[in-house]
A and B are shown apart, each in its own frame.
Chain A
Amino acid sequence: MALISVDRERGLLNVEFQGLDKLWTLKSRLEIPLAHVRGATHDPGMAREPKGIRVGGTHFPGVITAGRFRRHGERLFWDVKNPDKAVVVELADAETYDRLVVEVDDPRATVALIERSIARG
């Protein structure tokens, strides 16, 4: 589970990994400039996609996908146990990752927050 928040003053999207997810993903947080966030989508079906090659992190199929993955030349960052709550955040080319797939508590609210924040930027 990740906690997604927006720092308007610094123009950043903060993704904080909760509890043991810090261990599984090998990260405690990601900070992404809002200008590099292209959109967010609640997408439970994303978790059924092939994950590609694990670059760093944890992958127990059907249990947890966490950390850095590479597929078709794209770099994805995952933190998902429950696919029903997966949100896909698409990033601009300048970012380290092409796409984040993270589980959040309230996907609808998270998507709305991100859409609102990037519309203003």
Chain B
Amino acid sequence: MGRPRAFDTDQVVAASAALFATHGYEGTSVDDLVTATGVHRGSLYKVFGSKRGLHLAALRTHLDHEIHPATAAIATLTDPEQALTAAIASYDNGPAAGLLLLAAAERAPRDPEAAALVAEGVAALEDALRPSHGDAAPRLASTVLGARLRLRAAQPTATPSKEH
């Protein structure tokens, strides 16, 4: 039922991911999402089911387009120092930088599906650090997550922000 879909789902998810990464899940209203995506409210509900559905789609896309390519690149580095520096610079980055960190803090404790996606992203980071750091990879992954958090705290304007 309803009108045919006249919008690019990928673009809607990308714009929503940037919004969630900037304002957090609770801080992003459906009004914000409608404004940023330019898509009718009814169409957002029809396609994604709920704000949660859209957030999970955004997280999935962020993993596929940012986290996994970045960790694949880190995995090719064998020099420990180089790998760590690259991970701190590129993990959970891109147009929705910090989306994974925010989801870990805000959504994972109460949303099992979000928790599974966060776990996938952290596991990818651990695996990527294994060629350079071996058994210390999980500990170094925690260092990377902490460093990313500190970077975000130190550069409040570094995250993409849409004024509206």
How many Cβ-Cβ contacts under 8 Å join chain A to chain B? Answer: 61
Residues of A within 8 A of B53 (CB): 38-39
User: In the bound complex, do residue A41 and residue B31 qualify as a contact, i.e. CB atoms below 8 Å apart?
Assistant: no
Instruction: Please list the residues of chain B having a beta carbon within 8 angstroms of any beta carbon in chain A.
Output: 1-3, 29-31, 34, 40-42, 45-46, 48-53, 110-113
Known: A112-B110, A119-B113. A39 touches B52 (CB 8 A): yes
User: In the bound complex, do residue B50 and residue A90 qualify as a contact, i.e. CB atoms below 8 Å apart?
Assistant: yes
Interface size of A as a range:
20 to 34
9 CB < 8 A contacts A-B = A39-B48, A39-B49, A45-B34, A71-B42, A72-B40, A74-B1, A88-B30, A88-B45, A98-B1
Residues of B within 8 A of A38 (CB): 49-50, 53
User: In the bound complex, do residue B50 and residue A40 qualify as a contact, i.e. CB atoms below 8 Å apart?
Assistant: yes
User: In the bound complex, do residue B51 and residue A41 qualify as a contact, i.e. CB atoms below 8 Å apart?
Assistant: yes
Beyond the given A38-B53, A74-B42, please list 17 additional residue pairs across the A-B interface where CB-CB is below 8 A: A38-B49, A38-B50, A39-B51, A41-B51, A45-B34, A45-B41, A46-B41, A49-B41, A49-B42, A72-B2, A72-B42, A73-B1, A74-B1, A74-B46, A90-B45, A98-B1, A119-B112
Residues of A within 8 A of B46 (CB): 74, 90, 98
In the bound complex, how far is the Cα of B91 from the Cα of A97, in angstroms? 43
Residues of A within 8 A of B52 (CB): 39, 41, 115
